[in-house]
Chain A
């Protein structure tokens, strides 16, 4: 049923002052003529003939192109029109002409945003400030909701808390275990060369124990959870915001913070320290395995040395960081979710932001902890 063009889509000069249009002038074919139309010099004089008898199909895009052509010609002489056009095509061409006149009368509105570099810096500074203030406000609201729930424990929603402990904690055990195990292996492996040089093989227990317990286990756990759970918090709340579920929740009289945010924070406050202990275990185990194969330090020797050199403080320092990381991850994830507005695009953007920001803040917090602990001699 598609028109089969007999003549090619073309503009041809059959004689001086005579142009013949032919073929199907439709959105699919007219692009080939575009350069020719733009290049048509206005060297045609009055009395020229444009024949449209060979036009086989014309749609709005084609009509637009034809009007462009006519106006190009008109630039040189006076009126130009197409002759012998089928009546339905002539009407379409006329519509295109009316539209083009209207467009010239009302030039498109251009909303010119100040695009200078200074304005850009100003805008991003303003946005960053606004963002920080909003984040603090959100933390404040969470604290308020938390206090409210602490005062009235019946308001705490245990079911979502338990659900979140399972999804963010228990379900993450395999990946956390595997990665910290590998990290333990890597630490012991990297240290083994140096230690062997000084015949200090047994100190691998100190190396693995201190680095895993104090730094690596809490950090790797927090970063994996930021990627795994923080992003899902942002995406879940963001999608709910887009589909007006959050507004619906408010109108029913359920505080979204109590329903969506607090259970996540509480669950992560419980789950992340536990996950960190698990990461400690697997990390040290990985180190032990490496110590035996690379440094000939047996399991018994390793554990013996480990117990002597690692104090309970080292363990507590690592575990103590986990709740802080948990609060950062849960709050940033939920905060970014609530800032979603618009559509699918925005959900993706906020999810990315939640992961980047949570990871960043976790590392900053870790650095601050290091400074604090060294000043406190812990």
Chain B
């Protein structure tokens, strides 16, 4: 992740992707690019195919036509060994955690290390504990099983596991869904901190307007099988496309926008802590 090749700054390149389930067309020509070290958000109404697109990016599903390149590798023509080495270079945090119920949090986080590094158990436990601490969890959480965790803790533990092998690319599916505003704030900060620390490229699916305004560098709006708009939130707010307008014209959209503008006027203040409390008052 350290040497950047300037020739190919796109970490993910999606071109002309179409996907259909029986008669239902999910994507009809999706094109987008994700650049290195950016925080990229994918938004869209339910059924707009954003989860499907994410699954296609992480090799859980194949598009019907079109090509997807991740870290320079074409996913359409990929052999098993290449797929494995690619999988080791990204981390995925699932919406509901996807932690293994039969393992403790520490074992869950250590599992990728145990499977793929050949390090000894003591080191793996220490490194897993470090990753858990990095995501802001208390050390005693490591000994717990996933069923004993709250929603916010589950997300963090899942994030710690996604980070286990120091991925270059991190996929987050609804990182703040189902969290209370305070935990959601912490997740915002955590995502920014991770990018700053490791230069990660982050792709996330989210509906959280605060997350979009505060954290995302670029946002792509998916609707009717296509990308309706792509750019920073400020750029998107200038567009007239109805699918994009939905994110700005509702009361929530306006509140999050105003919050961002207020912050721009008083830049010294810490960003989303305030934003989220305004969110709560509504």
| A residues lining the B interface (CB < 8 Å) | 1-3, 26-28, 30-31, 34, 56-61, 64-65, 68, 86, 88-89, 92, 95-96, 99-100, 102-103, 106, 108-109, 111, 341-346
Which residues 188-203 of B sit at the A interface, judged by CB distance below 8 A? 197-199
- 30 A-B residue pairs with CB within 8 Å: A1-B5, A27-B113, A27-B116, A27-B164, A28-B88, A28-B116, A31-B119, A34-B123, A57-B1, A57-B2, A57-B3, A59-B198, A60-B131, A60-B166, A61-B113, A61-B117, A61-B165, A64-B123, A65-B123, A88-B2, A88-B199, A89-B2, A92-B197, A96-B130, A99-B130, A100-B126, A103-B126, A103-B130, A342-B101, A342-B147
Contact B123 A1 (CB under 8 A): no
Pick the most buried of A27, A65, A96, A106: most chain B CB atoms within 10 A of its CB: A27
Which residues 102-122 of B sit at the A interface, judged by CB distance below 8 A? 102, 113, 116-120
B145 at the interface (CB under 8 A from A): yes
B227 at the interface (CB under 8 A from A): no
A102 to B198, CA, bound (A): 21
In the complex formed, the residue of A with least CB distance to B72 is A1
Contact B166 A111 (CB under 8 A): no
User: Which one, A30, A88, A100, A111, contacts B143 given CB within 8 A?
Assistant: A111
Contact A30 B139 (CB under 8 A): no
CB distance from A40 to the nearest CB of B (A): 15
CB distance from A102 to the nearest CB of B (A): 7
Q: Which residues of B contact A58 (CB under 8 A)?
A: 2
| A64-B130 CB under 8 A given contacts A58-B2, A109-B140 | yes
A100 to B131, CA, bound (A): 12
Contact B72 A344 (CB under 8 A): no
Q: Which residues of A contact B1 (CB under 8 A)?
A: 57, 59
CB distance from B170 to the nearest CB of A (A): 13
| A61-B119 CB under 8 A given contacts A103-B126, A109-B139, A342-B145 | yes
User: Which one, B88, B117, B133, B198, contacts A31 given CB within 8 A?
Assistant: B117
A100 to B155, CA, bound (A): 24
Interface string of B128-172 (1 = CB under 8 A from A): 011101000001101101110000000000000001111010000
Q: Which residues of B contact A344 (CB under 8 A)?
A: 101
Q: Which residues of A contact B199 (CB under 8 A)?
A: 88
Interface string of B24-52 (1 = CB under 8 A from A): 00000000000000000000000000000
B89 at the interface (CB under 8 A from A): yes
In the complex formed, the residue of B with least CB distance to A88 is B2
Q: Which residues of B contact A64 (CB under 8 A)?
A: 123, 126-127, 130
A274 to B131, CA, bound (A): 60
Given A27-B113, A89-B2, 18 new contacts (CB under 8 A): A26-B166, A27-B116, A27-B164, A27-B166, A28-B117, A31-B118, A34-B120, A34-B123, A58-B2, A59-B198, A61-B117, A64-B123, A103-B126, A103-B130, A108-B129, A108-B139, A343-B146, A343-B147
A31 to B121, CA, bound (A): 11
Q: Which residues of A contact B118 (CB under 8 A)?
A: 31
A150 to B130, CA, bound (A): 61
A111 to B145, CA, bound (A): 14
Q: Which residues of B contact A86 (CB under 8 A)?
A: 2
A65 to B8, CA, bound (A): 31
Q: Which residues of B contact A28 (CB under 8 A)?
A: 88, 116-117, 165
CB distance from A266 to the nearest CB of B (A): 33
In the complex formed, the residue of B with least CB distance to A349 is B102
Contact B3 A3 (CB under 8 A): yes
In the complex formed, the residue of A with least CB distance to B113 is A27
Q: Which residues of B contact A61 (CB under 8 A)?
A: 113, 117, 119, 127, 165-166
CB distance from B16 to the nearest CB of A (A): 23
Q: Which residues of B contact A30 (CB under 8 A)?
A: 117, 119
A58 to B198, CA, bound (A): 10
B71 at the interface (CB under 8 A from A): yes
| A27-B120 CB under 8 A given contacts A3-B3, A108-B129, A342-B147 | no
